[in-house]
Chains A and B, each alone.
Chain A
Amino acid sequence: MNAIEFILAGMLAAATPFLLAALGELVVERAGVLNLGVEGLMAFGAVLAFIIVYHGGGHFLGFVVAGLGTAALSLIFAIVALGFRANQVATGLAIGILGQGLSALFGKTYESLTVKGLPKLALPGLSEIPVVGGLFIQDIIVWLSLAATLAIWAMFTYTKVGLVVRAVGENPKAAHAIGYSVITVRVLAIAFGGAMAGFAGAYAAVIYTPLWADGMIAGRGWIAIALVVFGTWLTGRVFLGACLFGAVSLMALAAQATGLDVPSQLLSSLPYLVTIIVLGIISADRRLLKLNGVASLGEPFER
């Protein structure tokens, strides 16, 4: 396997934790809510899934429990931020810290333990193509997150649900006036975003790495939030950003392994640089940026 094959084979799996969390946050932000607790939600989802899988509950149950657990935790955010109209930035940070604390507490006795991941499924035919074949041998969650990307894109583009979520984010007063419950839509979006962050953490802990260690999310939740902003709240761009980030991270490691004479500090910062530059160029049109931006993001809604 050469470096190119290594990057192609690994980039989708490397991107999946970012992608799942970013898709969730995308829906939350499209509904006009800024939840900065993604990092902590991921950590909480990771530990829940790990505990279930470690005790033999299986990966499916692990993901279900992680999703339900983080959705429940994010509902605390919803109660405080929507119910009491608290500052969303502060509330999100607080929930994030709570999630990290809970993950450390629950994970205490599981520190540094490992579990078995899931087998990879090959797409017949495509996976036999030389060089790029590795791209089509992935575990089930990678395939499901690609499907989720398509589904969310289709939801925003073609369905009424997508339009309602966008209306609530763009102009909550108008959405309210025509009879939609802004709070209900936002609560559902927050729960969905929470569950997706939980899945992202679960993927990292029981499939990708697969081990539990306190702090293993290592900033991935923050990168997911950044991807949503740099992807200008568009599903396709968020997907592109996540893949780019995954691919460039692997490229930086592969470059070192092949002995390329580039400072490793530069290589380590490359994923951030490349993602910012590429998404920056794509969204250089300020008029379009304004068009895509969510007008009521972070503002509490009062009837």
Chain B
Amino acid sequence: MTHLTRRNLMKTAAATGLAGALGSRLAFAADEPLGITLVIPSPIGDVGWGHALSAGLDLVKAAHGDKVKVTILENIAEGPDADRIMNKTVADGNKFLIAGSFGYQNGALQIARRDPSVTVLHASGFQVAPNFSPFAAKYFQGSYLLGMAAAALTKTGKLGSVSAFAIPELITTINAFTLGAQAVKPDIEVSVVWVNSWFDPAKEQEAAKALIAQKCDVIFSNAQDTPSVIAACEEAGVYAFNLNSSMKKYAPKTYLGCISTDWSPFFKASVDAHLAGTFKGANTFLGVTEKVVEVIDWSPDVPADVMIKIKEIEAKIADGSFSPFTGPITKADGSEGVASGASLADAEIIAMDWHVKGVATPLPK
């Protein structure tokens, strides 16, 4: 019976003009569940990046039930260890790999090139192959909105951000945060502390305290996976917000909001495409419009009139009529960043390596 199914599928595949390789992939899918492996660099907690990615697979599991088998490998350091582990899981028959960190790029790409029947989704990268899609969230759309709220709440006019590494994804969130704040109060300043680490709760907390000591009274926890910064801000009585998943319970009094990410529609669409044999690698940059990025758990302290403005901008971002990176924008060094009336294209945003005027800390080169 299995044999017949396989042959029939092969025929169908040939008839519809699909490649032989695709046919065998379909046959494999029909025989046994599709193995999906998610590899992430940090442990999965109740919150954070790893949590957001693993929660994104819930919809896939609900939709396909027994037809998929999900494996999550957490706390895998970037580098040779990750390459070995990804190779192993693919060799074990898992044909759908989600590489959840930028540093997995080269190893994951090699796997995709070697075996065309494998589909790879890779977080925050730039390389594309027929069976390899990088994906990233337009966090900056959310940080613009939180910038507006921060400007309305700050008493000192100084905002801060504890940031992991100076990569474009995090530079854009700081820039949009600054621009959003300046849209409400033009003379706002933003200080940034780069901790140069994805994961060091003690150091992140020291960085938050350093910013608070400099009179920053709204802190943006930019890509920390633990509530280190959020908890320190609650203790010091300053507002704070973060990316990926809500940390409201760690700061019941001073939590400003969360730029949450919901990867489930994207993961489901990709798995569906893989099962149907129609997956095509592409650079996917998803935001408010696609409902991947959404600001949740707004603080009740944001003044009502500002909240109305924020909701207006949010609606405009969703329907595509407004982009945070619309000119005129001046760079931190005084030169022109975006000309008046122009907007940055996605490709320019993904590669952004400059700060806007108002970011007080020079960008590391």
> Which A residues have a C-beta under 8 Å from some C-beta of B?
1-3, 5-6, 10, 14, 17, 104, 111-114, 204, 208-209, 211, 213-216, 218, 220, 249-250, 253-254, 256-259, 261, 263-265, 268
Per-residue CB contact flags for chain B residues 73-101 toward chain A (1 = under 8 Å, else 0) read 00100000000000000000000000000
B326 within 8 A of A: no
A204 to B228, CA, bound (A): 12
Task: Give chain B's interface residues, CB within 8 Å of chain A.
Answer: 42-48, 75, 160, 166, 191-197, 199-203, 205-207, 209-211, 213-214, 216, 225-228, 231, 250, 360-362, 364-365
Contact partners of A263 in chain B: CB under 8 A: 364-365
CB pair A249 B191 closer than 8 Å: no
Not counting A249-B203, A257-B191, A257-B193, a sample of 12 additional A-B residue pairs whose C-beta atoms are within 8 angstroms of each other reads A3-B210, A6-B210, A6-B213, A17-B202, A104-B43, A111-B46, A216-B202, A218-B197, A218-B203, A254-B214, A259-B191, A268-B194
Q: Which residue of A lies closest to B46 (CB)?
A: A112
Once the chains bind, are B213 and A112 in contact (CB under 8 Å)? no
B210–A250 contact, CB under 8 A? yes
- In contact, A209 and B228 (Cβ under 8 angstroms): yes
Nearest A-chain residue to B193, judged by Cβ = A256
CB pair A253–B226 under 8 Å, yes or no, is: no
Contact residues in A for B361 (Cβ distance below 8 Å): 256-257, 259
- Partner of A214 from the list B75, B207, B228 (CB cut-off 8 Å) is B75
B202 touches A208 (CB 8 A): yes
Question: By the criterion CB–CB under 8 Å, are B205 and A209 in contact?
Answer: yes
A267 to B194, CA, bound (A): 10
Cβ-neighbour of B362 out of A111, A114, A257, A259 (below 8 A): A259
Given A256-B210, A258-B214, A213 contacting B226 (CB threshold 8 A)? yes
**B residues near A258, Cβ cutoff 8 Å:** 191, 214
Distance in Å: Cβ of B307 to nearest Cβ of chain A: 29
Pair B194/A249 contact, Cβ less than 8 Å: no
A1 to B45, Cβ gap below 8 A?
no
A-B complex: 6 closest residue pairs judged by Cβ atoms: A112-B45, A6-B213, A111-B45, A264-B194, A259-B360, A214-B43
Which among A104, A114, A218, A265 is the interface contact of B364 at CB below 8 angstroms? A265
- Report whether A213 and B214 are in contact in the complex, using a CB–CB cutoff of 8 Å: no
Select from chain A the residue with minimum beta-carbon distance to B200: A218
Residue of B with least CB distance to A265: B364
Specify which chain B residues have a CB less than 8 angstroms from the CB of A211 in the assembled complex: 201, 226-228, 231
B226 neighbours in A (Cβ, 8 Å): 112, 211, 213, 216
- Residues B75 and A268 in contact, CB atoms below 8 Å apart: no
Assembly CA distance A214 to B160 (angstroms)? 27
Question: How far apart sit A208 and B200, CA to CA, in the bound complex (Å)?
Answer: 13
- Cβ B227 vs Cβ A114 within 8 A: yes
Contact A216 B201 (CB under 8 A): yes
Contact yes or no, B227 A112, CB < 8 A: yes
